[in-house]
Amino acid sequence: MAVVKANAYGHGLGPVAKALVGHAEMFGVATVGEAEELRSHVPDAPIFILGPALPDERLPVVTGCFIPAISTVEEARAYAALTGAKPLPVHLLIDTGMGRVGILQDDAVATAREILSLRGLTVTGLASHLPVADEDDAFTREQLAQFHQVVGQLRSLGISQPVVHVENSAGIISYPTQAGDMVRAGLMIYGSSPVPEFQPKLRAVMTWKTRVTLVREMPAGHGISYGRTFITPRPMRIATLGVGYADGYQRHLSNRSADVLIGGQRCPVLGRVTMDQILADVSALPQVTAGDEAVLIGSQGGEEISAAELAQKSGTIPWEIFTGVGRRVERAYHG
């Protein structure tokens, strides 16, 4: 399953989904709204909805032929009441430790029995989710073992040939033999690894660039940006760049030793990130002029800035960096 929720992790739903047709057997989105948008791009692909639909979204799930994830008997009953002659394929979610959605593991057999007695549904999948696949090996091993044991019990209730799926990117990388029948790959299909040692095997999909809008020679002792948190210690050549926190360049990158790439070199970001503009030290680059490209994520010359680097410097995770790239940032697609 290619997970393309949140506008394909900020990369753009339509182009990403179309590029993955024939590579992924199923697409995963978070909401019914996302499923409907995705349907217009990939009319024939199975679409799985990772999160619960609201009560008033259940009819659109049925009419849209999306595959819902079921956590409760109440949801199952409501879907069963909405289906016509043809039973609706659904996947049962088992909460084996994530604590977000799903049937609690200890209730799985009893609840599944009730759901299986409903006419109008057919259980075609069994799933769970890993909360600490990149953080707690012992917990994850135990969780995977217990999930597969519950799956065995549910199979014996008569759920024949379910598609079993439990692994996100971190799970896929670290526990490849425990995957079941399908994996739900998100972050890694965009070329970013949640496990740093695995990163060399992936190539980043997104390059995020902006441009130099001004270059100015600043005297010593001049405050740079809001708060005057950076005062030029000497005369400096400073570039103004057309990106800010409204574009997803995190304000938390202010004064956190973040760099941008200009002319193939790392240039420190100075002072606070503002809504629409940032400032970078280009004192070492006399040739830089307005219109030059500045790379925020990606490579230029021999240098590279990864989403993981920005995430680490701003105190967040690459998922949030990607999904934060704003609407104002124009997407261009190659290949």
Q: Which residues are annotated as a binding site?
A: 100, 275
With contact defined as beta carbons under 8 Å apart, do 101 and 52 qualify?
yes
Ramachandran bin of 120, using left for φ above 0, alpha for ψ from -120 to 50, beta for the remaining angles:
left
11: contact with ligand PLP by CB under 6 A: no
311: contact with ligand PLP by CB under 6 A: no
16: contact with ligand PLP by CB under 6 A: no
209 is catalytic: no
50: contact with ligand PLP by CB under 6 A: yes
- Binding-site residue positions for substrate: 100, 275
Closer CB to ligand PLP, 114 or 181, in the complex: 181
Cα–Cα dist 18/279, whole Å: 37
What is the pairing mode between strands 121-127 and 88-95?
parallel
Cα–Cα dist 6/318, whole Å: 13
Residues 153-182 that bind ligand PLP (CB under 6 A): 168-170
Closer CB to ligand PLP, 162 or 186, in the complex: 186
Binding mask 91-130 for ligand PLP (x = CB under 6 A): --------------------------------------x-
Catalytic-labelled residue, pool 18, 201, 226, 333: 226
Which residue, judged by CB position, is nearest to ligand PLP in the bound state? Answer: 186
209: contact with ligand PLP by CB under 6 A: no
CB of residue 223 to ligand PLP, shortest distance in Å: 40
Please pick, from the candidates 52, 102, 120, 186, the single residue that binds ligand PLP as defined by CB under 6 A.
186
Please give the full DSSP string across 74-109, using - where no structure is assigned. Answer: HHHHHHHHH--SSPEEEEEEEESS--SSSEEGGGHH
Long-range CB contacts (within 8 A, 24+) of 36-44: 36/60, 36/64, 37/13, 38/4, 38/13, 39/64, 39/66, 40/14, 41/13, 41/14, 41/17, 42/17, 42/18
Give the interface size with ligand PLP as a residue count (CB under 6 A).
14
Closer CB to ligand PLP, 167 or 259, in the complex: 167
Closer CB to ligand PLP, 11 or 184, in the complex: 184
Please give the full DSSP string across 205-251, using - where no structure is assigned. Answer: S--EEEEEEEEEEE-TT-EESGGG-EE-SS-EEEEEES--GGGT--G
Q: Which helix (H) or strand (E) holds 113?
A: helix 108-116
Cα–Cα dist 197/284, whole Å: 33
Please pick, from the candidates 39, 91, 184, 272, the single residue that binds ligand PLP as defined by CB under 6 A.
184
Q: Which of 89, 105, 115, 100 is nearest to 152 (CA)?
A: 105
226 is catalytic: yes
Closer CB to ligand PLP, 82 or 202, in the complex: 202
Query: Which tokens belong to 158?
Result: 């008569």
Closer CB to ligand PLP, 28 or 271, in the complex: 28
CB of residue 131 to ligand PLP, shortest distance in Å: 10
Binding mask 128-147 for ligand PLP (x = CB under 6 A): -x------------------
Cα–Cα dist 4/10, whole Å: 9
Residue ranges binding ligand PLP (CB under 6 A): 3, 5, 50, 129, 168-170, 184-188, 194, 319
For the annotated catalytic residues, the residue numbers are 5, 226
